Amino acid sequence: MVQKLKSNWTLKRLNKVAMTVVLSLVIAIFLLAMLGTVVQAAGLVDDTVNVANEYSRYPLENYQLDFYVDNSWGWLPWNWSDGIGKQVMYGLYAITNFIWTISLYVSNATGYLVQEAYSLDFISATADSIGKNMQTLAGVTPSGLSTEGFYVGFLLLLILVLGVYVVYTGLIKRETTKSDSCHCELCHGIYPISFLYCLCSRLH
């Protein structure tokens, strides 16, 4: 049995299978890059710029620590030890800036939570925000499917790949039962998605 497997998997056949897999991956990545859509959800940190308030006059990206390390002559042999010290100093400054950025976002998120707590509508506002973000990422709107999102970009590609697989197993490999079971599993996956779509469109 082992000898038969070794004779079937020759180096030429392994190269052919590897090239087929690599070519399939390249085509899939190309299709995703060409047909895929970028969807962004609103973050939990409120980055609204409002000139009326001192704390929201500038966006959060403006509040970074300024640091500069002159490393222009560090390549000279007599400056190597000094260059290593400057690199260490630059690393410490970068770590400090990273900690400062985390502190900035945590402080802003805390302020947002306090603001929502005083408005006495924290739970419903958060639930609405999460629901809208889920609908935006999924590509579902009250009027139907939008042109962006998961269902529009990825579901059609998934149906295409599954259709190619069903045709391959049914016509080329002559495994009709496997092809039919794959088709039934696709239908079992589409029915809950259709139900969720109808439910979301009824709710909003």
**pTM of the full predicted structure?**
0.34
- By residue count, the chain amounts to 204
Confidence of residue 8 (pLDDT cuts 50, 70, 90): low
Torsion 76-80-82-86 (CA) sign: positive
3 state DSSP class of 197? helix
Each residue of 41-80: pLDDT tens digit? 555 555 666 666 666 677 777 777 777 777 776 666 666 6
Tokens 């970068």 appear where?
94
Of 91, 89, 94, the closest CA to residue 65 belongs to 94
pLDDT of residue 178: 64
Quote the CA–CA distance of 202 and 204 in Å, as a whole number. 6
DSSP 20-45: HHHHHHHHHHHHHHHH-----PPPSS
Quote the CA–CA distance of 19 and 22 in Å, as a whole number. 5
Burial class of residue 139, CB neighbours in 10 A (0-12, 13-18, 19+): buried
pLDDT of residue 42: 55
Each residue of 75-119: pLDDT tens digit? 666 666 666 777 788 888 888 888 888 888 888 778 777 776 776
- Token pair of 198 as six digits: 């109808």
What residues contact residue 58 under an 8 Å CB cut-off, 6+ apart?
49
